Amino acid sequence: MATTSDLTWIQPPSTGLCSVLRRVSRAPSRIWHARDLLFTGLARDLRGRVAGTVLGPLWPFAQPAMLLVVYGFLFTTLLSMKLPGASDGAGWSAYLLVGTLAWSSLAECATRGASSLLEGRELVRKLAYPIELLPLVPSLSSTILLGSGAVVVIVLGGVSGYLPWNLAALALPVVMLLHLGLALGLAWSLAGLNAGLRDVGQVLPLLLTALMLATPVFWVASPEVIPGIEPWLPYVEASPFTHLLDAWRSVLCAGRPEVPCPPLGEALASLVPYSLGALILGRIVLARLEPLILDEI
């Protein structure tokens, strides 16, 4: 007796609200069913990053370690820039280090996510690869690498006394999950838009640079540091990226009280709606564009 559970008629896709929402709500179960595919893609992506290098799997750990050494040296020895209320440059360099790590991972998710459908078009065209997995793979691998980088920062920072150990570091998995949500939502939307309209990929680098400068990666959103910033603060506060960096700094820089960031619980809680919202929005964009993408790709 044949099972009939997988026997459904494949019909022309509908982009009506109900069918889009149904597809969005099914996303978690679809991803779960495709987990083997996902792990395989993830393993391939991670292996592909270091393929042909001598250090191989050590690179994801070596890179943040090197960044930590460079930042530490630059800001404690060469440049005498200090955060308000700090006696040396260590806090400032930690602020920058964590901001840079988190932002570059997010930017990577956006960039690689945007091109993921076009790069993986052979998989979609020839092997009917589920399109929502293509942006998920680089987002996931980038978040994992960011997490391993954070572990390096925690360990080396604690050992050297550059970033004293603090229990807040235990919230690393939570902030990684929220980071993944925001990054994946961004990657899903950009992947869909860019697969339909290549111009999106052309604007993206510019957009990301502008966003990076407008987000407190290299500056502190406080009138003490930047006089005259008050009128802009509500906008900075509303940006999901500000909340993302706040959350990372709350987790990693808690050992240095001079680093300006909200308390851990508040930082994580305020990121949750942004992260969830981005995920749902991204999946809706991709679901709406899916019929077009499958015809065009």
Distance CA 130, CA 128 (A): 6
Does 47 bind another protein (CB under 8 A)? Our answer is: yes
The HSE-up count of residue 213 (CA atoms within 13 Å, CB side) is: 5
- Least separation in angstroms between CB 46 and another protein: 11
Judged on CB neighbours under 10 Å (0-12, 13-18, 19+), 34 is middle
For residues 88 and 122, which CB has a smaller minimum distance to another protein in the complex? 122
Does 13 bind another protein (CB under 8 A)? Our answer is: yes
Q: Which stretch binds another protein (CB under 8 A): 66-74, 85-93, 126-134, 151-159?
A: 126-134
**SS3 state of residue 265:** helix
In 3D, which of 94, 91, 37 has the Cα closest to residue 68? Answer: 94
Instruction: Pick out residues in 49-78 that bind another protein (CB under 8 A).
Output: 51-52
How many residues in the shown chain lie near another protein by CB under 8 A? 42
For residues 88 and 119, which CB has a smaller minimum distance to another protein in the complex? 119
> What are 150's two structure tokens?
């954070």
**SS3 state of residue 222:** coil
- Estimate the crossing angle of helix 172-196 against helix 240-252, to 10 degrees: 150
- Least separation in angstroms between CB 122 and another protein: 5
> Which residues are at the interface with another protein (CB under 8 A)?
1-2, 4, 6-13, 15, 36-37, 39-41, 44, 47-48, 51-52, 122-129, 193, 196-197, 199, 285, 288-289, 291-292, 294-296
